[in-house]
Structure 1
């Protein structure tokens, strides 16, 4: 995985796990990859994955069943959405609004492009 310099690697790994949950690749109550397996897949130190899992566990997105492993928690989707929404509003939306203003983009154009993006990427064909 290619990591961005602007964000801690453990947060990017947590973001990856959240994305897998939102895309339903990792369903509710399903076992998630072990720390070691995810570390190998991501080519990072297992301690970094442990930190990501601790972060997600504190937010009740995953749970640790001692001796068995980590699992997607009940209600994880709603918690992931709330966490991602909060991060988006705090970090990405101000940059987006600044660019919209500076580029004098009409909201109608943004809406049309958003609708096209959804059609192209998320609607079943």
Structure 2
């Protein structure tokens, strides 16, 4: 059987690199590990750290095609971030004009969660532990 250790990274292609870089670093507070401009691809690659565990790779490409982004569309459903206090996290996002859906309760765990979107409309979740 294949032995997978953990998720190594998540790659996201953005339409507006400056807006997405600001969103992920200034609003979500992810730490920049490295930023590379790949001239041959006219593309940036921004490596981001999430809680010392996972890495998000943010890519820019000229004119990337659109894809369905709703949580019920085929493909990756959403990217979830664990938080200690969902109300505090929502207040922080709201202060930066990021709209969150009403908080729901996971019927299996009893934990609270909400959804919001990144600048490209990619679905994101806050999940309170």
TM-score normalized with structure 1 length: 0.29
User: Larger C-alpha radius of gyration, 1 or 2?
Assistant: 1
Larger helix proportion of the pair: 1
Give the TM-score normalised by structure 2: 0.28
Give 1 or 2: higher strand fraction: 2
